[in-house]
Amino acid sequence: MTSTISISIDGKTCECPMIIGSEGERALDISHLRAATGLITLDPGYGNTGSCQSAITYIDGEKGILRYRGIPIQEFVEHPNFVEVAWLLIFGRLPKKAELARFSVRLTDNAHLHEAMKHNFEGFPATAQPMAITSAMINTIGCFHSELFLPRDDPETEEAAARLISKIRTIAAFTYRKVRGLPYIYANPRLRYCANLLHMMFSMPYDEHVIDKEIEDAMNLIFILHADHEQNCSTSTVRMVGSSQANLFASCAAGVCALWGPRHGGANVAVLEMLERIHQGGLTAEKYIELAKRKDSDVRLMGFGHRVYKNYDPRARILQKTCEKVLKKLKIKDPLLDIARKLEELALNDSYFVERKLYPNVDFYSGIILRAVGIPTNMFTVMFVIGRLPGWIAHWKEQHDDPTTKIARPRQIYTGLVNQHYVPLDQR
Ligand code: CMC
């Protein structure tokens, strides 16, 4: 197989090395193309651009495969342990018993926020967007731990990761309580990661929230399935911000902002709003599908389609089953699930969606599960943040540990005015 491809333009040649990944994917390294030929490549939305080489997550979008550090995500379903998967993503292998125990202790020790941070929560209006609070609070916790801004080795990374992964859960719970005007509930060191989140969200000072093991497992699974997805918009943001050697906390805070949008993590909110709109009778599922197909409408079938998956998103398959299990366990008959099933059936039999290879993605069923657990719609994307944080940390670390990392600085093709001159204000 050729290991170099020559590109000749106007008599100038660039030798582009062929990069081959461990799953046989091929890429052309065009990093010297401009120096050799004067040309850059243009790829809006980066659909055909590899921004880095990464050993964290593998996706085959055509076959619907997703693996974390080589392990198919289906293998986490039977033993859902988000903390274990977080460590796997960040450090590259499954933790040994003692390592997992040490990391769990670190998570427990770091669950509390500095008391001064309560004032930060107080400063937000009750109408504040939870994602705005979350992003701001990640930078705020960084202010209390600036010695861990740029971890220098694995023990320091583990400490920084434990603080972020533990405190994001407390931030999420406090955000929920603040917006509702409820008293803050502190973490209980005897509870595991997901149970503690639900405790801090739903217990009252006089009434402990009882956490069912199946619901705890479902939350673990949701977080695991969101934990990493290679170079998606928010992870690329974290890497881009981190490439300037901005600190880990600031880079993750930026990731939250990227995740917020409805084409990315915010889609889980948009899915629920779509299902509710149909349920309230404004539209039928059939009419919604017709609207989503029209090019003169800005409506999309939310929770459908993916830049990489041109097949059923394996996360959606797992979540569909989890959704049914959770509703059964909680004895909930949610009409929104029926609407979701109907939309899926219509779309999968409609040539518009079939031809464009649009399938349900991770956001299509996750919201129905979160709603059944009692999590309000405006907190859904914050739940996505909790899940995605280990992935962001893993990518930030991978990039930070690589001595060849360069600042991310794409080029452009300028299309603006040329040869203009300044005109003084009184002459315009
Ligand atoms: N409903 C209707 N049409 C769609 C949809 C959809 N959900 N998604 C894509 N299309 C159409 C799109 O209009 C275009 O049609 P045409 O070729 O006729 O112009 C074609 O499919 C390709 O779409 P695209 O926007 O060029 O594809 P993309 O890879 O840039 O976008 C996406 C991917 C996820 C942003 C898009 O599918 C979408 O907006 N989906 C709905 C939002 C959503 O569910 N987002 C969550 C993604 S998964 C979790 C995450 O990443 O956070």
- Tell me how far apart the alpha carbons of residues 85 and 65 are, in angstroms, rounded to a whole number: 17
Given a contact cutoff of 8 angstroms between Cβ atoms, the answer to whether 121 and 113 are in contact is no
- Tell me how far apart the alpha carbons of residues 224 and 72 are, in angstroms, rounded to a whole number: 12
DSSP state of 75: G
- Tell me how far apart the alpha carbons of residues 269 and 110 are, in angstroms, rounded to a whole number: 29
Using the mean position of ligand 1's atoms as its centre, give its distance from the Cα of residue 359 in Å: 10
DSSP state of 18: E
Tokens coding 380: 């859904």
Tokens coding 188: 């209980």
Q: Is 267 in the pocket of ligand 1 (CB under 6 A)?
A: yes
Q: Is 362 in the pocket of ligand 1 (CB under 6 A)?
A: yes
Specify the pLDDT at position 126.
86
Closest CA to 300 of 325, 328, 327, 266: 266
Ligand 1: residue of 273, 300, 301 to mutate (most ligand atoms within 8 A of CB) is 300
Q: How many CB atoms lie within 10 A of CB 95?
A: 20
Q: What is the pLDDT along the chain (428 residues), one digit of tens a residue?
A: 569 999 999 999 999 999 999 999 999 999 999 999 999 999 999 999 999 999 999 999 999 999 999 999 999 999 899 999 999 999 999 999 999 999 999 999 999 999 999 999 999 998 999 999 999 999 999 999 999 999 999 999 999 999 999 999 999 999 999 989 999 999 999 999 999 999 999 999 999 999 999 999 999 999 999 999 999 999 999 999 999 999 999 999 999 999 999 999 999 999 999 999 999 987 899 999 999 999 999 899 999 999 999 999 999 999 999 999 999 999 999 999 999 999 999 999 999 999 999 999 999 999 999 999 999 999 999 999 999 999 999 999 999 999 999 999 999 999 999 999 999 999 99
CA-closest residue to ligand 1 atom 48: 361
Residue 242: is it exposed, middle or buried by C-beta count within 10 angstroms (0-12/13-18/19+)?
buried
Q: List beta partners, residue 58.
A: 67
CA-closest residue to ligand 1 atom 15: 356
Q: Is 258 in the pocket of ligand 1 (CB under 6 A)?
A: no
Ligand 1: residue of 297, 356, 380 to mutate (most ligand atoms within 8 A of CB) is 356
Tokens coding 382: 């914050």
**Where in the sequence numbering do the catalytic residues fall?**
306, 363
Burial 256-274 (b: 16+ CB within 10 A, else e): bebbbebebbbbbbbbbeb
Burial 376-385 (b: 16+ CB within 10 A, else e): ebebbbbbbb
Q: What share of the chain is helix, strand, coil (3-state, %, to 5)?
A: 55, 5, 40
Given a contact cutoff of 8 angstroms between Cβ atoms, the answer to whether 160 and 248 are in contact is yes
Q: Is 169 in the pocket of ligand 1 (CB under 6 A)?
A: no
- Closest ligand 1 atom, residue 304 Cα: 7
Specify the pLDDT at position 282.
76
Q: Is 68 in the pocket of ligand 1 (CB under 6 A)?
A: no
Q: Is 343 in the pocket of ligand 1 (CB under 6 A)?
A: no
Residue 17: is it exposed, middle or buried by C-beta count within 10 angstroms (0-12/13-18/19+)?
middle
Global pTM reads 0.95
User: What is the distance of C-alpha 181 from the center of its chain?
Assistant: 28
